Amino acid sequence: MASAIIPSPSPIILSKPNSANQHCHLLSCLNECRDMSRLKQIHAQTLRSTLPDQPDTLFVYSRILHFSAFNDLDYAYRVFDGIENPNSFMWNTLIRACARSSDSKAAAFLLYRRMLEQETVLPDKHTFPFVLKACAYLFALYEGKQAHAQMLKLGFESDVYVNNSLIHFYASCGCLESAQNVFDKMPKRSVVSWNAMIDALVQFGEFETALKLFVQLQDLFEPDWYTMQSVLNACAGLCALSLGMWAHAYVLRNFDVDVANDVLVNNCLLDMYCKCGSLDIALQVFERMHRRDLTSWNSIILGFAMHGKAELALEYFDLMVRTWKLVPNSITFVGVLSACNRRCMVNEGKKYFEMMIAEYKIEPQLEHYGCLVDILARAGLIDEALNLVSNMPMKPDAVIWRSLLDSCCKKNASIEVSEEMARQVLESKGGDCSGVYVLLSRVYASASRWNDVGLVRKLMTDRGVTKEPGCSLIEIEGVTHEFFAGDTSHPRTGEIYQFLDLIEEKLKSVGYTPDYSQAPMVDELNEGKQRTLRVHSERLAIALGLLSLKPGMPIRVFKNLQVCSDCHEVSKLISKIFNVEIIMRDRVRFHHFKDGSCSCMDYW
């Protein structure tokens, strides 16, 4: 019987999986992909059905990497490590994802270092912005400078996109001069370049320079919303209400935004109006908002606190947590505690401090302790305040000790306690400033110990400490006028000083008696002290306001230092004598003088 012939099996010939249909199918699936589970299936199919060294396959892997990088960074790393020769797009994708992740920003720079070690690919103009963004977030100045040097080496010094990122990086790391240097050397700038530089200047408190740059920008580009956001912040810093109102009108006229629904726009406006002394308009903005976030509520609560409206601050806090069910954060409680501080609400301050810890599990920061210490000390509870300071989990800073010294001065505490507080301030970091010497001199002046006042002045001279000059600003018809104590540089100096004489006569007629403890240390005679008091910067500004503004218009004065008790009393009297409202912001808060009284109820 013949044996059956069994044919040998034919070899299986695999066709190269490089067909356009296969890659198109995978790309189509990626376009429809919505979750990581589906992506992993596509990834598995790609591994089975494609050859890794083909250009079309690399493009598919680029899409897989991009999707996973912004949905599952760990998986993206595994995909990336499985690619033999990733191109610059793949490196940039992963660096960008790390730069955007709050937990992996340091990894962005480490990836960049790995990229430099490869011989097959170099960073391009898209790499550096992501690396610099991560360095800016981490305040990694040294690493960012390395990236800057590499950028110059590779010839990207003229790239607008890279330079914009450099401006932001240097500004974020506290190097305004370096940011300005990058901006000045740019051969070509976009509106983003101008926005980055203006915003950097605002961050550093260079508000006037920022607004001058804004004027230059208008000759080249149409300002966008980011420009106007910085302009509004600059107006808030300068207390330039007229310019802030112009910026508000500009936004309404030129931008296609529904202001009532745009939370970011309204939050900027809220902050600007509160800081410019127009709490009524700020409240109108807040009430007309269709949507509010926690920043909106924090802004209005802080605004009420700043203006001494403690009851309203606490009422809106209650409304926020009970009616709108928003969870407060640490900034919220800074506003609430500040409001309690403005009205000597000791029990309320303690209650909200405990609420923050027990109910909302917020760990108190130095600012919260500072508020509570100030509440206790300004209420005359110096011993209780000192006990709180001794039990704080962190070391008290110069601000807390200076607050205690200020309270000792106002509450006529013993000279010995005040001297101890002054010693603590001077031994604290950043405490060797003119303020502590001025406060200590006031303690001695209040006790009529003028020899000790002179010794404090000599100590300041020996240590090279100069007193920060008092400066007051007043805005009239959009023009800001600046005054220093005893200033004679204003074009209307003659009129101003003549009007001061008239004010002096009217003050005497209602029984005004100067508080000589607020005069400079060098004045020895009462007549000299009184002459010095009458030319404090805020009085010069008020005199110009009375001369220039129409009847019924409020006088808005902004001072860099805390208003002294003598000028506070004089401002109250002027408001009654001349039937005018005076809104004054000092370094601590707003004072609204009207009909002979102040919104602070003489507690500041």
Structure tokens at 236: 């808030």
Q: What mean pLDDT comes out for the span 410-426?
A: 81
Amino acid symbol at 465: V
More confident of the two residues 513 and 448: 513
Predicted pLDDT of residue 8: 38
Indicate the Cα dihedral angle 600, 578, 470, 424, nearest 10°.
-20
In terms of C-beta density within 10 A (0-12 exposed, 13-18 middle, 19 or more buried), how is residue 345 classed?
A: buried
Q: d(Cα 369, Cα 330) in Å, to the nearest integer?
A: 12
**pLDDT, tens only, 544-578:** 999 999 999 999 999 998 898 899 999 999 999 99
Amino acid symbol at 422: A
Q: d(Cα 14, Cα 268) in Å, to the nearest integer?
A: 64
Q: What mean pLDDT comes out for the span 188-207?
A: 96
Start-to-end CA distance of the chain, whole Å, equals 120
Q: Which of 468, 503, 523 is the last residue of a domain?
A: 468
**pLDDT, tens only, 363-379:** 999 999 999 999 999 89
Q: Which of 468, 486, 515 is the last residue of a domain?
A: 468
More confident of the two residues 22 and 158: 158
Least Cα distance to 36 among 60, 78, 70 occurs for 70
More confident of the two residues 446 and 466: 466
Query: Does the structure show a pLDDT above 70 at 71?
Result: yes
504 and 555 both lie in a single domain: yes
Buried/exposed code over 386-425 (b: 16+ C-beta within 10 A; e: otherwise): bebbeeeeeebbbbbbbbbbbbbbbeebebebbbbbbebb
Q: What mean pLDDT comes out for the span 184-190?
A: 96
DSSP label of 324: S
Within a domain: 389: no
Q: Cα–chain-centroid distance for residue 564?
A: 27
| Three-state SS at 567 | helix
Predicted pLDDT of residue 113: 92
447 and 483 both lie in a single domain: no
Predicted pLDDT of residue 517: 60
Within a domain: 443: yes
Predicted pLDDT of residue 367: 95
Query: Does the structure show a pLDDT above 60 at 215?
Result: yes
Taking a C-beta distance cutoff of 8 angstroms, is the pair 388, 379 a contact? no
Residue 26: pLDDT band with limits 50, 70, 90: confident
Query: Does the structure show a pLDDT above 90 at 47?
Result: no
Taking a C-beta distance cutoff of 8 angstroms, is the pair 488, 536 a contact? no
Q: d(Cα 184, Cα 287) in Å, to the nearest integer?
A: 43
Residue 424: pLDDT band with limits 50, 70, 90: confident
| Three-state SS at 597 | strand
More confident of the two residues 397 and 584: 584
Place of tokens 């040097």: 149
Within a domain: 549: yes
Q: What mean pLDDT comes out for the span 189-194?
A: 97
Percent of the chain with pLDDT over 70: 92
Predicted pLDDT of residue 430: 64
DSSP label of 391: T
Query: Distances from the Cα of 258 to the Cαs of 199, 212, 223, 254, 292, in angstroms?
Result: 24, 29, 18, 12, 14
Within a domain: 58: no
Place of tokens 């000390």: 377
Q: Give 30-42 as a DSSP string.
A: HHH--SHHHHHHH
Query: Does the structure show a pLDDT above 80 at 231?
Result: yes
> How many separate domains does the chain show?
2
Taking a C-beta distance cutoff of 8 angstroms, is the pair 171, 140 a contact? no
Taking a C-beta distance cutoff of 8 angstroms, is the pair 280, 241 a contact? no
Taking a C-beta distance cutoff of 8 angstroms, is the pair 400, 389 a contact? yes
Within a domain: 280: no
Q: What mean pLDDT comes out for the span 207-236?
A: 94
DSSP label of 328: P
Least Cα distance to 366 among 430, 446, 308 occurs for 430
Backbone phi, psi, residue 17, to 5°? -80, 60
Q: d(Cα 298, Cα 335) in Å, to the nearest integer?
A: 7
Neighbours of 373 (CB within 10 A): 25
Q: What mean pLDDT comes out for the span 460-466?
A: 84
Q: What share of the chain is helix, strand, coil (3-state, %, to 5)?
A: 65, 5, 30
DSSP label of 357: H
Q: What residues contact residue 72 under an 8 Å CB cut-off, 6+ apart?
A: 36
Within a domain: 330: no
Taking a C-beta distance cutoff of 8 angstroms, is the pair 236, 206 a contact? no
Predicted pLDDT of residue 523: 44
432 and 495 both lie in a single domain: no
Residue 530: pLDDT band with limits 50, 70, 90: low
Q: By mean pLDDT, which of 103-112, 222-231, 427-436, 561-570 is the weakest?
A: 427-436
**pLDDT, tens only, 299-349:** 999 999 999 999 999 999 999 999 999 999 999 999 999 999 999 899 999
410 and 440 both lie in a single domain: yes
Q: Give the chain's mean pLDDT.
A: 88
525 and 442 both lie in a single domain: no
Q: What mean pLDDT comes out for the span 87-95?
A: 93
434 and 529 both lie in a single domain: no
Percent of the chain with pLDDT over 90: 63
583 and 478 both lie in a single domain: yes
Query: Distances from the Cα of 229 to the Cαs of 124, 224, 233, 235, 307, in angstroms?
Result: 31, 9, 6, 10, 23
Q: Which of 468, 502, 523 is the last residue of a domain?
A: 468
Residue 298: pLDDT band with limits 50, 70, 90: very high
442 and 462 both lie in a single domain: yes
Predicted pLDDT of residue 105: 83
487 and 452 both lie in a single domain: no
Which structural domain range is residue 509 located in? 472-598
Predicted pLDDT of residue 18: 47
Query: Does the structure show a pLDDT above 50 at 122?
Result: yes
500 and 546 both lie in a single domain: yes
Predicted pLDDT of residue 222: 93
Predicted pLDDT of residue 4: 39
508 and 445 both lie in a single domain: no
Q: Give 500-555 as a DSSP string.
A: HHHHHHHHHHTT----GGGS-TT--SHHHHHHHHHT-HHHHHHHHHHHHSPTTPPE
Query: Does the structure show a pLDDT above 70 at 10?
Result: no
Within a domain: 562: yes
- Largest Cα–Cα separation, the chain: 145
Query: Does the structure show a pLDDT above 60 at 520?
Result: no
Place of tokens 């005069």: 519
Predicted pLDDT of residue 84: 84
| Three-state secondary structure of 438-464 | HHHHHHHHHCCCHHHHHHHHHHHHHHC
Query: Does the structure show a pLDDT above 90 at 245?
Result: yes
Query: Does the structure show a pLDDT above 60 at 12?
Result: no
Structure tokens at 437: 């010497």
E-state strands within 296-396? none
Within a domain: 320: no
476 and 592 both lie in a single domain: yes
Least Cα distance to 289 among 325, 243, 258, 335 occurs for 258
Q: d(Cα 203, Cα 572) in Å, to the nearest integer?
A: 35
